[in-house]
Every structure is written in structure tokens, then in C-alpha cells.
């Protein structure tokens, strides 16, 4: 029997009792990974724009404690999508959005529009996986708040 994928506590809905919340928090602590390997961009990521974006976002992600070494590929995916999005955007600034096809005289949309849209979508997908979207950060904040409430309840009981 195949069950649905387990969600992190921050993403779970519904009322969980204190014992279940504490158990799941302990389980999540057990699977947290180190973050020493994501301090610097990976050597294979040569794109300067992507490397600069890595250096911008990783310290902030580490500060809110939502990523670890196992997230390297997702962070790199975000950074590469960001670099390609920027490149497509720059091309759109230097080229017309619509041009006339010389062969048949019809108007055609710049291919950079589709490229830009593709990388914008990729950025959103990877950003959500890494905790960079507002929604994913709010979910993480809700989990941390719930954790603190559970700690207080275990110390003082339900008030």
C-alpha cells in the first residue's frame, strides 16, 4: 500500500496534539543535515551571475535554518535559473518584443519571452523548495511558533 508523501511539520494542516507535535519535531531534528558544504557555491557552477546569487541567498537561508547540504542541487537550480532569467531579460531589453518575420511578413513574438517565462517558473519552483518564497518562509515560521508554544505548554501546561 502506497501512502502519500510525508510533509514537514510546518506544512501539515489540522490539529495535532502536543505529543504528536513533539514526536514529529524530534523526527525532523534527526533528519536535519549539516550546512558546511553550501557556504560557498559549488566549483562546477561557473556562471558568475549564478555564483553571485548563491552568495546572496545562502547566508539568508542559513539564518532562518531551512536548508542543509542535501539542498545544494535545489539551491544551484534556483541560482542557474536566476542567471538564465536575467540573461533573457537583458536580451528582451535590447531586442524588440515583437518582430516581423522576413519570410512571410507576419509578426512573431520574441523567443526570449518564452525563455524568460520558463526560467521564471523554474526560479519559483526551486525557490519554494529551498524556503525562499514568502509562503514557504511563513510555513517555517508557523512551525517554529508552534514549537515554542508546545515547549511552553509542556513546561506550564495549557493556560
Return the pLDDT at 1. 44
pLDDT band at 31 (very low <50, low <70, confident <90, very high): low
- As a whole number of Å, the CA-based R_g of the chain is 22
Return the pLDDT at 141. 65
pLDDT band at 149 (very low <50, low <70, confident <90, very high): low
More confident position, 57 or 14: 57
Residue owning grid cell 514568502? 134
Return the pLDDT at 105. 87
Q: Is 144 exposed, middle or buried (0-12, 13-18, 19+ CB in 10 A)?
A: middle
Mean of pLDDT values over 18-38 = 77
pTM over 0.85: no
- How far is Cα 147 from Cα 71, in angstroms, rounded to an integer? 23
Question: How would you classify residue 14: left for phi > 0, otherwise alpha for psi between -120 and 50, otherwise beta?
Answer: left
- How far is Cα 10 from Cα 133, in angstroms, rounded to an integer? 14
Residue owning grid cell 510546518? 10
Q: How many other C-beta atoms can be found within 10 angstroms of the C-beta atom of residue 20?
A: 13
pLDDT band at 79 (very low <50, low <70, confident <90, very high): very high
Amino acid at each position: 500500500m502506497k501512502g502519500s508523501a510525508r510533509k514537514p511539520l510546518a506544512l501539515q494542516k489540522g490539529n495535532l496534539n502536543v505529543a504528536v507535535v513533539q514526536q514529529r519535531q524530534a523526527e525532523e531534528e534527526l533528519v536535519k543535515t549539516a550546512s558546511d558544504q553550501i557556504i560557498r557555491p559549488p566549483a562546477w557552477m561557473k556562471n558568475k551571475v549564478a555564483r553571485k546569487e548563491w552568495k546572496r541567498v545562502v547566508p539568508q537561508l542559513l539564518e532562518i535554518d531551512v536548508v542543509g547540504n542535501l539542498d545544494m542541487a535545489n539551491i544551484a537550480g534556483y541560482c542557474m535559473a536566476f542567471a538564465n532569467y536575467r540573461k533573457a531579460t537583458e536580451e528582451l531589453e535590447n531586442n524588440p518584443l515583437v518582430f516581423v518575420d522576413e519570410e512571410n511578413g507576419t509578426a512573431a513574438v520574441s523567443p526570449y519571452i518564452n525563455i524568460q517565462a520558463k526560467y521564471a517558473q523554474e526560479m519559483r519552483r526551486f525557490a519554494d523548495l529551498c524556503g525562499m518564497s514568502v509562503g514557504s518562509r511563513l510555513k517555517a515560521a508557523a512551525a517554529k511558533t508552534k514549537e515554542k508554544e508546545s515547549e511552553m505548554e509542556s513546561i506550564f501546561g495549557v493556560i
